[in-house]
Structure formats: C-alpha cells, structure tokens
Structure 1
Amino acid sequence: MTLLADQFRSLHRPGDPLLLPNPWDVGSARILSTLGFRALATTSSGFAATLGRPDTFVTRDEALAHAAAIVAATDVPVSADLENGFADDPAGVAETARRAVAAGLAGFSIEDATARADDPIHDAALAAERVAAAVEAAAGRAVVTARAENHLHGRDDLADTIARLQSFQDAGADVLYAPGLTTADQIRAVVASVDRPVNVLALPGTPPVAELADLGVARISVGGAFAFAALGGLVAAATELRERGTYGYWAAAKSGRAAAGEAFAD
C-alpha cells in the first residue's frame, strides 16, 4: 500500500505531467492499464452513471467498495475521487481517509464543495481543517489531493481559489487541484502561487498536454469524460440502429472488443 503511494507520489513531476485517466468500472480500469497509463483515478460522476444516478448521489460505502474493486483489478496506483469526503465535519472526513487507506488506495481527493445547491462551497477555514484531518488520517500512506471547487459552482474568483489552495498546502495536501480552470493565464497563476504539484482537469478549451507541461502542471485528469464518451458511443450506436437500421457501430465495437480481449486475457 505504502509502496504504491510512494510510486504514485513520484509520478507527479511539474513540467512532465502524469496523464491520469478516470475509469468508471473494473473493465475500463483494466483496459486503461493495458494501454500503458501509469496510474488511474476513479470518477465520481462516471461511477454514479453506472448506477443510473447523477453525480454526488453515491454513498461512502459504495464509493469505497468501487475504489477497492478498481485497486484489485490492476497493479498500477489508484487514486479515488471521494467527493467532499462524505462528511461536513473534519472527523467524518478523517474516517473516510482512514477507510480509503484500508481499501488499498494510493491516493484520494477531498473537495471543498458541500453538495448543497444553496451553499455550494465550505467556509475557507473549515475547508482547510477538513484537508488537515484527511492528511493526518492518511499519515503518508496515501497521496492527498485537495480540490478547490469554486469554478465548477459559478464562483469565478481566482484570488479566492488560490488562497484556498495555499491554505490546503499549509494543511499538508500533497497535490492541489482547482477543476474548471481552462485558460493558460489561470493555470499559470495557480502553479506560480503554490509549492505543490498541480492537477488540471482536461476540459474543452483547456490547453493541450504539451502546453500544460510548459506551464508546470504535474498531473492531468479527465474526470467523467471517458465514461460519458463511452455512453455517447452507446447513444450513437443505438440511434443508428433505431433510426437507420444499419450497423456502422461495428467499426468501433471491433476495436473495443479487441482491446477488451487483450486486457481481460489474464
């Protein structure tokens, strides 16, 4: 467990970003591992979709069982999207962190979102206390990523986002993450303002990998994008069959079947 955490930590190199794809089930995890990715991370929205639910409608027990299944499916380090730690209070977040370590995870993320539409972001001081509790509970046995969620909730205040990330750094977070930043200027400002590896979420309009490397980014993840791309393929195939009565989807199905055959052969 600790060896995988150390391996995962070593993969975070500013200027040489770790490409961290987000599988949504055991099969996609094994395929991504076979394709040569050096680490994986779960996606809360992608996993929720496999259960027919929207994001944030998964329980802690479900998320940790899912993460443990991904860990068991591959030999590479796995980090988990643990949303807001499934708790408001630091003690509850610490319990989630301890259970994440017990699940064999090499890392996990904790965000400052509340999952409440009327009050979407935790108070800054409480958010930092929650990160500190997670770090203390992990005790170096997992890489703790602290997420500032402002820009996913309509709060486009870069100064506040940076201040939060700096407080998370002071609380001991290993990696810092502000999903929703898409411009080079925003990302450059974040990287220059902290002294920890920075993760960027690859969104439409985000600079390409080579440019993010030049900006000093250490990790790039995709969130639920791969999961929803797969569902988009399902919609396209089903629509073709229903509306046109043709089978052009077999071109993609053949490549997917080949990838699955290679990944599942052992």
Structure 2
Amino acid sequence: MNIELRRARFSALHFRKNTFVLPNPWDIGSAKMMTALGAEALGTTSAGYAFSQGRPSDLGEIGREQALAHAKQILSATYLPVSADLENGYGHTPEEVATTVERAIETGLSGCTIEDATGDPENPLYDRNCAIERIAAASERAKKLDVNFVLTARSENFLNGCPDLDDTVARLRGYQSVGADVLYAPGLPDLGSITDVCQAVDKPVNVVAGIGLEGVSFGQLQKAGVKRISTGSALSRVAYGAMITATNRILQSGSFEDLDQSASFNSIDGLFRKADLFAEHGRWIGSGWAC
C-alpha cells in the first residue's frame, strides 16, 4: 500500500459516520498482531515504546530520531496507516515542532500527535498562546508540503495537575483555529467532560482508553461525539502487567498457574502469517480496498 493511499485512508476514517479505534502497538510484533486482528489504522505510543526499551515514560526519554526510527519500524510491519505519538514535537519553539512534523511526513507517516506539555515540572504546560503558535507552525509546514497528513493537537491539562476544563477547551479551540485536524485532551475525568469537549469544537475528537473512564463503553463514547478512540500505552501495560503478575507468582510462591493463560504458539504464529499475507496482497481489512 503506497504512502498516499495510506494517508487518504487515514484521513477518511475521521469523516465517516462511525467512531473508530486506533490501537497503539509498541514494537513490530504487536503491530503485526494488531494488523491481523483487524485494526484499520495504528498509532505509536511513546510510553509503550519507552517501556520496551527499558526506559521510563517521562517526556523526552525518547528523542526525535529514535522516535521516528521506531515509527519507520512500525510502518514496515504493516500496510495500515500509521500516526505517530511525537510528544511535544521534541523542541520548545514553533520552528522545532514544524521540523518534527516535516520529518514525520518524510518518514511516511499518515499523521502525528503534538502535545502542549513542556516536560518541566515547575511549568508543565506551554503558555496557551505559545502552544497555539506551535500547532500553527506544524499545520503550516504540513500544508506547505501539500500532503494529506492528519495533525492531532493535544491539551495536556488533565495529565499535568491542571484539571481546568475551560482552559482545555480554549486550547483545543485555538488549535482548531490554526489548522489542527483532530483534537485530543487525554485524561478527561468522565463522560460529561468528554461530551462537553466534543460539543465545544468542530473537529474530530480523540479520546484515549486506559486512562480513567472505568466503565465507559465504546457506544457511550460514540454517542458523546468521539470520533477516534486510541489505546495509548494501555495495551502494552496489559502485556507487561500479565508478565509482572506471572513472574511475581513464580518467584514468590513457586506457582506457574498464570502461564496457563498464555497465548499458544499457533495463535501467535497464525497472526504473524495472517499479517504477512494481508501485506502481500495489499488489502485493507474489512474495506475491500486493494493496492
């Protein structure tokens, strides 16, 4: 599947009637498995990838070059569109963010996410006007390159000890006004606040599963107006959580009972073969599109 076809497909997902899920693989194997399981597009996870490299999830633990190299690996593992989690754009200035977006486009990505967190505990968020300027620069660079690239802008208030819904909405509206294609405020505390955000903006809204929202269903999020549901680092944490639990039980009590829940060799091998077969024939799962 060529790059422009992937990009067209990813953009189109945001304009169809129904909500879609954007799973987030953290390595080549998980990308292939998610492809074979029926995902329509994939997104990288900066935290999940950091964990796979033995690093904490702090902003800046993974730099631009390493993040883009990882994104290229994910692209090579699937024929699906891929959007990258590029943290705060790996730079404080609008020009640095624009350069990151240009590099993402050159890598072959269909989209990326840029957040407004600084990585500084004393000043965790960029000033709102500065944050908007950063997204404006990213959008202008993408438009200058004349590609169908989905730019997602994130407001990080609720993940950085600033649970201000009014400021979150103001930031998202600002990002919308300067060209962001998708709006995203991770960590919103409940369905009501998600509904308020969706009603306050005119662009597709992404919500992340696995950070709060216990008991909230896909159907409820769709009814609230959410267009895209990503999983962030949650699926990697599910995998690592099972490993931690099993290892603790083995080391502390000598019990191997958790290993009975492991996937079989055949099921995993089968997913890899299926993913490779789909890639060989170049077909979109469930859509009927072909290269």
- TM-score calculated relative to the size of structure 1: 0.95
Correspondences of 1:1-266 after superposition (within 5 Å): 1-13=3-15, 16-55=18-57, 56=59, 57-139=61-143, 140-202=147-209, 203-206=211-214, 207-255=216-264, 257-265=265-273, 266=276
- Deviation, 1:208, is 1.1
Distance 2:154 2:111 in 1: 13
**Over 6 Å off, 4+ runs:** none
State the Cα deviation string for residues 81-118 of structure 1 (Å, max 9, x = none): 00000010011001100110111111100000001111
Q: How many residues align?
A: 265
- Deviation, 1:51, is 1.2
Distance 2:204 2:134 in 1: 19
* Counterpart contact for 1:184–1:215, Cα < 8 Å: yes
Identify if the C-alpha distance between structure 1 residues 215 and 13 changes in structure 2 by more than 3 Å, giving closer, same or farther.
Answer: farther
- Deviation, 1:15, is 6.0
- Deviation, 1:258, is 3.5
* Counterpart contact for 1:40–1:78, Cα < 8 Å: yes
* Counterpart contact for 1:45–1:224, Cα < 8 Å: yes
Identify if the C-alpha distance between structure 1 residues 104 and 259 changes in structure 2 by more than 3 Å, giving closer, same or farther.
Answer: farther
- Deviation, 1:262, is 1.5
Identify if the C-alpha distance between structure 1 residues 74 and 150 changes in structure 2 by more than 3 Å, giving closer, same or farther.
Answer: same
For structure 2, the 5+ residue unaligned runs are: 277-291
Distance 2:15 2:190 in 1: 21
State the Cα deviation string for residues 214-263 of structure 1 (Å, max 9, x = none): 111100111111111111111112122212323223323234x3342012
- Deviation, 1:172, is 0.3
Distance 1:259 1:70 in 2: 21
For structure 1, the 5+ residue unaligned runs are: none
Distance 1:30 1:230 in 2: 15
Report sequence identity in percent. Answer: 44
140-149 vs 85-94, which moves further: 140-149
